[in-house]
Amino acid sequence: MHPALAAILLVGMMLCDPVHAQRVEALASVDSARVGGRFLLTVSALHGFSEAPAFPDPQASPGAFGDLEDITVVAQGHAVLGPSARLDSIVYDVTTFALDSAIVPPLEVRLQGGALAASTVGFVLPVISVVPADADTIRGLADPVLFMEPDARLRWPWVLLGLAVVIVAAALWYWYTRSRTTVVDGEVPAGPQLSPYEQAMKRLEALERADLAAPGSEEPYFVALSEALRMYLEARIGVPALEMTTREVLDAFLHIRYKVPGGVPDAVQRVLGLSDLVKFAEFTPAIPESCATLAEARRVVEQLEAKQLQLAQDAARQEELAG
């Protein structure tokens, strides 16, 4: 959601009765879709309750999404906009096989533990036809093209000459690549291998020098921030975060609680959740919020690293006592 729109909705919520102050909306990532092409559908809810809203579940009620099909959830997030205002959102990866236009009906969002309900405004998404506009009928297969038409006067000398040229060229290429890739053992010393902690810190320090005031810098910044944190989680504590959604990463923490210090899951959710909003919902955070998120990612890496070192020392101490 655009910051200006969020600010307007927040002022409206402050002037209204908190019980009835809520606003939900649905937004497609494209102005028009292609048959079978994938795009994103973002549903956001601005409300005044502390509880997270219940968004439509594509597994429980796929028919609720109208002409949209093959729906999967790719991201969820929330942001606290004030003492009595909260913005929650969910991003669906969808497709459609409708012709000419796809109808996206109003989507119901349950609030305050299901006691209240609000619906988005339905809309129609144009669908681009894959058949040319001037095509009257479906055309059949074209006639086959003969690669070598039979001829009584075959030019065998030219064929043999072409074959010789191919063989010579292949031999030269083999010699060239072999001469470039042959390396004597010990001639090229291996560089120092950085630890996962050093790699993560190096990436985060590079982001500290990023120009966040430049137009369009938000998405590359948060993509790099999310990747730096996910790569560290994967290399250091064995969570394949690069292949997981934010929710799956948080669920994975439940199975390795002894490796994760208290408070780290909430901090990871804030960092990755805001990154998902920027990447999938075109949310533009303020520069101070972006800098604070980078600092929080650094603290997460430092806390996790200290925890892993402590676990290693404890294991070494136990082995020493056992021996």
SS3 content of the chain, % helix, strand, coil (to 5): 45, 20, 35
Greatest mean pLDDT among 24-33, 34-43, 168-177, 293-302 lies in 293-302
What pLDDT score does 6 carry?
Answer: 47
Q: Which CATH class is domain 196-322?
A: mainly alpha
Of 282 and 21, more confident? 282
pLDDT at 283 over 70: yes
157 pLDDT exceeds 80?
A: no
Query: Is-same-fold flag (3-128; 196-322)?
Result: no
pLDDT band for position 136 (cuts 50, 70, 90): low
Over the chain, what is the mean pLDDT?
80
Q: Across-strand partners of 46? A: 23, 87
pTM value is 0.45
Is 36 a residue whose pLDDT tops 80? yes
What is d(CA 305, CA 264) in angstroms, rounded to the nearest whole number?
A: 12
Tell me which of 16-20, 30-34, 243-247 is least confident: 16-20
Q: Identify the pLDDT of residue 233.
A: 94
In the structure, what pLDDT confidence band is assigned to residue 226 with cuts at 50, 70 and 90? very high
Pick the CATH number of 3-128 from 2.30.30.140, 2.60.40.10, 3.40.50.2020, 2.40.40.20: 2.60.40.10
**Where are the domains positioned within the chain?**
3-128, 196-322
Distance (Å, whole) CA 305 – CA 297: 12
Which stretches of 83-168 are assigned E, i.e. beta strand?
85-96, 101-104, 108-111, 116-119, 123-128
The predicted pLDDT at position 246 comes to 93
